Amino acid sequence: MDFQDIRDRLIVAALPHAVFDGWTAKTLVLAATDLEMELSLAERAFMGGPVEAVEHFADFGDRLMVADCGDLATLKTPDRIKMLIRTRLERWSPHREALRRALALLALPSNAPIAAKITGRTVDAMWRAAGDVSHDFSWYTKRATLAGVYTATLLYWLDDGSPDCADSWAFLDRRLADVGRITKARKGVGKWLATVLPKPAASKRV
């Protein structure tokens, strides 16, 4: 068993305890107890404490999301993104309260940099799984846009009591449609500007 596997197992074992105790040192010790691991292992596995455990929880979710979705080549890009977001959330449906407690910890002002890092890593994993190979400015705009869509959908989903979270998936569809309209409008404006603005003068060699 490698170190990452130990950390993954501790996170899974911690989920039911996080519902009652939040993401705390106590929760990690209880997780180690359930797994019949050495109690000090919980501390050694997450030297940064509960915040590091939550960060690993997010990383674990990213890896499982990609594995669960498999090959997305047959889908169009918007459908790939939709599949990735939905698959990521559906896996944790039985543990929504534990996830809510994790977000509460990340919402503390002192944890803002970690929260931003986690979100950035998740949306980057989504775009890479969707086949994005951009290296220009669009790399940043795509990830910033998806961060807004994913975060809004996550918060909606946490309180969704509809059957099979149907309302959340409808909400996601609307957000993605909004992004699609904005993208098309931006491209249209770009093409129009290209027809009305003077072309930049070619630079002269000295």
- pLDDT value at 44 more than 60: yes
pLDDT score, position 206: 43
- pLDDT value at 202 more than 60: no
Percent pLDDT > 90 in the chain is 75
Residue 129: band (very low, low, confident or very high) from pLDDT cuts 50, 70, 90? very high
User: Angle of helix 50-69 relative to helix 77-91, nearest 10 degrees?
Assistant: 130
Q: Can you say whether the dihedral through the CA atoms of 10, 21, 51, 40 is positive or negative?
A: negative
Enter the CATH code of domain 3-187: 1.10.357.10
Over residues 68-111, the pLDDT tens digits come to 999 999 999 999 999 999 999 999 999 999 999 999 999 999 99
- pLDDT value at 60 more than 90: yes
User: What pTM was computed for the model?
Assistant: 0.86
- Residue matched to tokens 């940043």: 140
The residue-averaged pLDDT of 140-149 equals 90
Q: Give residue limits of the domains in the chain.
A: 3-187
d(Cα 151, Cα 41) in Å, to the nearest integer? 32
Buried b (16+ CB within 10 A) or exposed e, 57-95: bbbebbeebbeebeebeeeeeeebbbbbbbbbbbebeeb
The residue-averaged pLDDT of 149-154 equals 95
69 contact partners, CB below 8 Å, separation of at least 6: 83, 84, 87, 129
Q: What is the chain's mean pLDDT, rounded?
A: 88
